[in-house]
Amino acid sequence: MKNIYTTIAALQPQFINFIRVAIFIVMAWIGGLKAFQYEADGIVPFVTNSPFMSFFYNNTGKTAVNEQGEEVAQYKLHRNPEGKMVQKNIEWHKENGTYIFSYGLGTVICIIGLLTFLGIWSAEIGFWGGILTFGMSIVTLSFLITTPEVYVPNLGGDMPTPRHGFPYLSGAGRLVLKDVIMMAGGLTVAADAAQRILKR
């Protein structure tokens, strides 16, 4: 076992670079998808309910009456399920500024991923990539507080919904929670970059 421990310990710098590569893959892929309609539509609940980003949308705070006669946030009536195109919903999103914001956000996410990746060769650039990854993760994790859709809703049915609300994460909530790992990764690569700078 000692040989295994020694080998793994010696590979720590490569593992830290692997974190950089992993962050880049996630950021570039997810950031790139922000250029597509279905992904832009999908982030609307997060952005609309976020105190940090809601002002980017034109329809934030607007309400409408649903089929049950309940007054709800307007965006809830204009969701496009992934893989489905509904023209009236797309028009609403255009007016809302959904797509323009998504393009900008995607660009920022891709840039952060690239800065982090470049930390393999440049400690200074990589430091800021790690710090920005950490900061972005804080914003993302705030959705666990601000976005109702991150928890299982009580939709009723043939019997009462036994588990809904906090702490029962929905698919969206489980996706958000994973940013704890991105947060830790960002700090790890930033600390590694800082150590490399100080050693010089």
pLDDT at 84: 84
pLDDT at 54: 94
pLDDT at 61: 92
Q: What is the pTM of this model?
A: 0.90
126, 127, 128, 134: CA torsion to nearest 10 = 110
pLDDT at 111: 98
* Segments of the chain with pLDDT less than 70: none
CB 42 within 8 A of CB 81: no
Q: Which residues pair with 151 in a beta bridge?
A: 169
pLDDT at 80: 85
pLDDT at 157: 78
Residue boundaries of the structural domains of the chain? 18-149+183-199
- Cis amide bond preceding 167, omega within 30: yes
- Can you state the angle between helices 87-96 and 98-118, rounded to 10 degrees? 70
pLDDT at 12: 92
